[in-house]
Amino acid sequence: MLTLFHAPRSRSSRIIALLRELDAIDRVEIEIVDITRGDGSGRKDPKNPHPEGKVPLLVHDGVVLWESIAIIQYLTDLFPEKNMAPLAGDPQRGRYLSWLAWYAGVVEPVLIAQAADLSHPYLDATFRGPAEMAERLDNALKDSPYLMGEHYTAADLLLHSPFAWYPAATPDSPRVKAWVERCGQRPSLQWAADYDARTVAAA
């Protein structure tokens, strides 16, 4: 049994979109929970087994997975039919996994530091900065519409997500802006947004 602990309009919304892309939304029980929001609203929900009260969190037959990257990799391996990720043994697998890790290890720290107006040589040396992040994305999109080439994958779903939430953070690159817009037009993302809106309205 698969259970996703989800808070509407949060980081777990991209997991809802992924499940829709994988045609697996009906194979997962979605448990709606509250979370503490950045503006101070919300609360740590006792129904949520995440030790920090965060989302997403996935439970599969008693096995608990947390962190978006782990959950995305797990689900795309569990439901490979829609080709949302290269499988083990595919020559492109390493490149794909590197994009997922780069998001967690570089993109989120860089964007959070930028939003908090933090600047320090240690941060620049460890995570790079907005300019380097923008250059990496721009170069990756020079010859193809998506990060892995002609085919949309979970790497695109993940890496475009912060720019969809906070358009002001989108790098000033025509290629990157077009990619964010292209990814944002996926029906799965609109479905996830509508699902969240219905859930909030029914609360």
CATH of the domain at 165: 1.20.1050.10
Q: Which domain holds residue 41?
A: 2-84+188-202
**Sequence-ordered list of residues with C-beta below 8 angstroms from that of 135, at least 6 positions apart, any chain:** none
Q: What is the pLDDT of residue 171?
A: 96
61 and 131 inside one domain: no
pTM: 0.95
pLDDT of 163: 97
Q: Domains in the chain: how many in total? A: 2
Q: What pLDDT sits at residue 42?
A: 94
Residue ranges in the chain modelled with pLDDT below 50: none
| Strand-strand pairing, 2-6 and 63-66 | unpaired
Instruction: Kindly state whether residues 101 and 177 are assigned to the same domain.
Output: yes
Cα(170)–Cα(153) distance, rounded to whole angstroms? 20
In a shared domain, residues 136 and 179: yes
Which contacts qualify for 124-133: CB closer than 8 Å, 24 or more apart?
Answer: 130/171, 133/106, 133/107, 133/171
Do 114 and 165 lie in one domain? The reply is yes
- Specify which residues 4 forms β-bridges with: 30, 58
Cα dist. 199→9, 31, 146, 147, 189 in Å?
Answer: 10, 11, 31, 32, 15
For residues 85 and 153, the answer to whether their CB atoms sit within 8 Å is yes
Query: What's 12's domain CATH number?
Result: 3.40.30.10
> Same domain, yes or no, for 167 and 148?
yes
Residues 54 and 118 reside in one and the same domain: no
At residue 95, the pLDDT reads 98
Identify the sign of the CA torsion 170, 137, 38, 117. Answer: negative
pLDDT value of position 145: 98
Does one domain contain both 99 and 179? Answer: yes
Domain shared by 44 and 108, yes or no: no
β-pair type (57-60, 2-6): antiparallel
Q: How far is CA 12 from CA 62, 82, 83, in A?
A: 19, 20, 21
What's residue 125's pLDDT?
84
Radius of gyration for the alpha carbons in the chain, expressed in angstroms and rounded: 17
Residue tagged 């448990």 (tokens):
31
